[in-house]
């Protein structure tokens, strides 16, 4: 079914024809989430209309949304909202002192866990750096470190996010640390991280992992590549360190992990594992790459042997038959969660791009193709056409062609400039021809 929209653009009219999928509009009655003090690139922060994270400024606003007062459920409240990333974002403003959400048990200290939903849309955040150096320890903001520092709600979620070239320096008192999430009681799914976690200078640390420091929730379809280093013996040794997860507690449910992480000085931890430092709950269907040195030398910090948890050589981890029972296919195929291809991710499995930036969610269906039409300019040319993003944050410029037909989709007047946008992988492109 085609759905036609007409938008005004100054004196010019624009027709957008959406092919093959129904479009979405937020419910008129939905009340915005938060107290109205912040604005993002769009949306209302609800499940039906998530706040859109399209720029570094959007990320900074979310990061700092609850740092001006103790979290009590009524002040600000932006850490309870739903967010959808709509573009790849590169961090250019330097290191973050803390991530989104942080906690501390001390009386009078900041208490602002993130308890909402952050959906990365399958996009990337590149060059995220977290370094609490200079942050007042009295505020205790640095105790939980990660893109999501702390999530204290079982309904909180991080999904569909890829961190690229991320770095973390733990500071002196990072209790839970991981590139994706420091501490979570909720879910982490279909996400990845490449980078380093450096807790070698910490004198007070607890659970450290490449992707997640501590979880008592659900973790599935996560991979991490990089290094984790912890403090030398003599200080307060970390309780547990893991290539992917530092500690999984008794209610955790974990599956479909891939860890390619080098652990440094893991002997100073009580529990150290190349996959999970201190495992708990239920877990399986996961792999860590063997031969990375120095490393823990065991998959799980308890030394247990669990069916479905295994080492794999680099060759084995690049072979699709290794992943029996996984949602995986050869090459790019958005009907599976994972893909594997010699030309992608160095031949290791990769998380497939979402069929749309909101796949498997109830909000905002993205069409597979959009035909855009604008009246031709003076002299019947398409030069200088205003190609601001008319719909769906397409944000593409150029590609307009003069059509001899008058408004191909039935409108009157002409000639007209047209272009077709198609959604491929996790982004828009101008269709050639």
Phi, psi angle pair for 298, to nearest 5°: -150, 150
Q: For Cα atoms 149, 30, 53, give the angle at the middle one, nearest 5 degrees.
A: 40
Q: What are the DSSP E strand ranges found in 43-147?
A: 51-53, 82-85, 89-90, 117-119, 124-126, 129-130, 144-145
Which carries the bigger pLDDT value, residue 2 or residue 153? 153
179-192: b or e for each residue (b if 16 or more CB lie within 10 Å)? bbbbbbbbbbbbbb
> Would you state the torsion angle of the CA atoms of residues 299, 305, 311, 317, taken in this order, to the nearest 10 degrees?
-120
Instruction: Identify the residue whose tokens are 């992608």.
Output: 344
Query: Given this model, what pLDDT does residue 305 score?
Result: 86
Which carries the bigger pLDDT value, residue 274 or residue 381? 274
Model confidence at 410: pLDDT above 60: no
Query: CA 378, CA 381: separation in Å to the nearest integer?
Result: 6
pTM of the predicted structure, to 2 decimals: 0.75
- Give the chain's domains with CATH numbers: 44-351 (2.160.20)
Instruction: Identify the residue whose tokens are 């769906």.
Output: 392
- 8 confidence band (pLDDT: 50, 70, 90): very low
> Among 137-146, 227-236, 254-263, which stretch is predicted with the lowest mean pLDDT?
137-146
What token pair was written down for 348?
């290791």
Model confidence at 26: pLDDT above 70: no
Mean pLDDT of 318-343: 93
Which residue(s) pair with 300 in the sheet?
276
Model confidence at 358: pLDDT above 70: no
Which carries the bigger pLDDT value, residue 395 or residue 261? 261
Query: Given this model, what pLDDT does residue 69 score?
Result: 47
Pick from 63, 111, 112, 113: which is nearest to 83 by CA?
63
- Per-residue pLDDT tens digits for 277-319: 999 999 999 999 999 978 888 999 998 888 899 999 999 999 9
Instruction: Identify the residue whose tokens are 């269709």.
Output: 431
The total number of residues shown for the chain amounts to: 433
Which residue(s) pair with 82 in the sheet?
117
Query: CA 251, CA 187: separation in Å to the nearest integer?
Result: 12
Query: Given this model, what pLDDT does residue 328 score?
Result: 96
Mean pLDDT of 120-129: 95
């Amino acid at each position: 079914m085609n759905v036609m929209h007409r938008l005004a653009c100054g004196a010019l009219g624009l027709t957008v024809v959406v092919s093959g999928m129904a479009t979405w509009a937020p419910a008129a009655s939905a009340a915005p989430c938060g107290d109205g003090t912040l604005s993002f690139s769009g949306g209302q922060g609800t499940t039906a209309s998530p706040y859109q994270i399209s720029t570094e400024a959007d990320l900074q606003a979310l990061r700092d949304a609850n740092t001006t007062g103790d979290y009590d459920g009524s002040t600000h409240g932006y850490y309870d909202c739903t967010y959808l990333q709509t573009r790849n974002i590169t961090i250019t403003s330097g290191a973050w002192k803390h991530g989104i959400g942080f906690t501390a048990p001390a009386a009078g200290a900041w208490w602002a866990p993130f308890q909402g939903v952050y959906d990365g849309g399958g996009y990337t955040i590149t060059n995220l750096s977290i370094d609490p150096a200079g942050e007042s320890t009295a505020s205790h903001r640095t105790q939980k470190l990660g893109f999501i520092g702390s999530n204290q709600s079982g309904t909180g979620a991080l999904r569909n996010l890829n961190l690229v070239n991320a770095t973390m320096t733990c500071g002196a008192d990072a209790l839970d640390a991981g590139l994706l999430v420091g501490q979570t009681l909720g879910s982490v799914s279909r996400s990845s991280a490449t980078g380093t976690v450096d807790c070698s200078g910490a004198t007070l640390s607890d659970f450290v992992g490449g992707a997640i420091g501590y979880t008592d929730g659900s973790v599935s379809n996560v991979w991490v590549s990089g290094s984790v280093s912890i403090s030398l013996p003599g200080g307060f040794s970390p309780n547990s360190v893991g290539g992917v997860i530092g500690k999984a507690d008794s209610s955790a449910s974990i599956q479909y992990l891939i860890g390619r992480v080098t652990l440094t000085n893991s002997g100073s931890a009580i529990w150290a594992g190349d996959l999970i430092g201190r495992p708990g709950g239920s877990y399986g269907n996961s792999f860590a790459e063997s031969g990375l040195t120095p490393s823990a030398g065991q998959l799980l910090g308890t030394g247990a042997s669990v069916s479905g948890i295994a080492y794999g050589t680099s060759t084995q981890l690049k072979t699709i038959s290794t992943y029996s029972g996984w949602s995986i296919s050869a090459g790019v195929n958005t009907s599976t969660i994972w893909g594997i291809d010699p030309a992608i991710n160095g031949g290791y499995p990769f998380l497939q791009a979402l069929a749309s930036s909101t796949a498997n969610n109830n909000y905002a269906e993205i069409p597979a193709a959009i035909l855009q039409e604008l009246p031709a300019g003076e002299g019947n040319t398409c030069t200088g056409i205003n190609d601001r993003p008319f719909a769906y944050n397409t944000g593409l410029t150029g590609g307009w062609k003069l059509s001899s037909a008058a408004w191909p989709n039935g409108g009157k007047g002409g000639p007209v400039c047209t272009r077709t946008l198609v959604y491929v992988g996790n982004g828009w492109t101008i269709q050639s021809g």
